Homo-oligomer: A and B are copies of this chain.
Amino acid sequence: MTVSELKSIEISDMKNIALGGSFLGTGGGGDPYIGRLMAEEAISKNGPVPVLDVGDIEDDALIIPVAMMGAPTVMLEKLPRGTEAISAVETLQNFLGKKATAIFCLEAGGLNSTIPIAVAATTQLPIVDGDGMGRAFPELQMVSMTMGGISACPMAMADEKGNSIILNTVDNLSTEKFARVITVEMGGAGLIALYPMTGAEAKKSILRGSLSLINSIGSIIHSEQAANRNPADRLAHDLKGIRLFEGRVLDVDRRTEGGFARGNCIVQGLGDCSGTQIKLEFQNEFLIAQTQDGIPKALTPDLICLLDLETGQPITTEQIRYGFRVIVFGLPCDPLWRSKQGLELVGPRYFGYDFDYKPIEQLNAVL
């Protein structure tokens, strides 16, 4: 697809970014509502947020990624106060004894593509066009920076009560494990600033252009909706995506466990898919789509997005309800995730599913 480069983020851009982020959030990454409001308020106060290509950043600049961590189900009920993201960044800056040059999105997602913009606007810093996943994943070591050998630590966490914590762990998987239990103790969600990196490190390790891509996806969905077309066809064409299935949600099994929203949902086919079912497994994000016979149709790290059958609006794992009429939409992941190291970090077996990864294009090849 033709992605127009985002140069700065105005209030009017936030609706597209929130929507495009939700789409790439593959069911996770948080509901965008509160993040969008926070970003719009901060931009209205401090002006637009400059968006920088990482190539234009000094090698010795300090880039700080920001995110909300926790179960999306909890984030819906435990609204951020707005100051804890800033507190996480300030805690990290104070620990490092250095100020950030730019803010960065750890992942793509409704909340996690908008909160960093709110932070950038509030701190009057630019934001780097990119992210660490090209989608959302449930654990914080699952970023391109881990593959680039960059430590998640020092990492700062903050909650709405005023608690803050700094982690220095021996590896990024340990960071995830400690941060997860702290998140649970924070009430299920906390704001985090981590993977502090230089411009030189970022150039070698981030996924570039994610904010521009998110903005374009949001723009397509909105324009197709305005023309009363379901955006799925256009997205399938532009993003080389696949309409995997359409049907009605028959069953949802969801629990908040260990700081994650875990579960699965069964979709009963409609139209061409009548008489068949598809089962989606999720852990914050959708990870596996398989038929009732256990034949995989899409496997993590490829993207599985659930869209409203009429409007194409992305549906998060905490929003799914019995009776929703949906499209199951699949998308190839960034090639980085298909490497051996990538699949060890985010492949089906890491999450305990008994599948060898196969690219979504192969799983759904027309014979």
Contacts and interface: CB of A to CB of B under 8 A. Distances in A.
Interface of A: 91, 95, 161-170, 174, 177-178, 181-182, 184-185
Given A181-B185, A184-B181, A161 B170 contact: yes
27 contacts: A91-B168, A95-B95, A95-B166, A161-B170, A161-B174, A162-B170, A163-B167, A163-B168, A163-B169, A163-B170, A163-B174, A163-B178, A164-B168, A165-B165, A165-B166, A165-B167, A165-B168, A165-B178, A166-B166, A177-B185, A178-B182, A178-B185, A181-B181, A181-B182, A181-B184, A181-B185, A182-B182
Nearest to A177: B185
Contacts of A170: 161-163
Q: Which of A163, A169, A170, A182 has the most CB of B within 10 A?
A: A163
A328 to B, nearest CB: 36
**Shortest beta-carbon contacts, A-B, top 6:** A166-B166, A181-B181, A163-B169, A162-B170, A164-B168, A181-B185
A139 to B, nearest CB: 14
A181 B168 CA distance: 16
Nearest to A161: B170
Contacts of A162: 170
Contacts of A91: 168
A69 B244 CA distance: 52
Contacts of A161: 170, 174
Contacts of A165: 165-168, 178
Contacts of A168: 91, 163-165
Contacts of A166: 95, 165-166
Nearest to A184: B181
A161 B169 CA distance: 9
Nearest to A186: B178
Nearest to A94: B95
Contacts of A182: 178, 181-182
Nearest to A166: B166
Given A91-B168, A163-B167, A165-B167, 10 more contacts: A95-B95, A163-B168, A163-B170, A163-B174, A164-B168, A165-B178, A181-B181, A181-B182, A181-B184, A182-B182
A178 B158 CA distance: 12
A178 B183 CA distance: 10
Contacts of A174: 161, 163
A184 B258 CA distance: 14
A267 to B, nearest CB: 37
A30 to B, nearest CB: 23
A333 to B, nearest CB: 30
A261 to B, nearest CB: 19
Contacts of A185: 177-178, 181
A271 to B, nearest CB: 48
A274 B178 CA distance: 51
A152 to B, nearest CB: 12
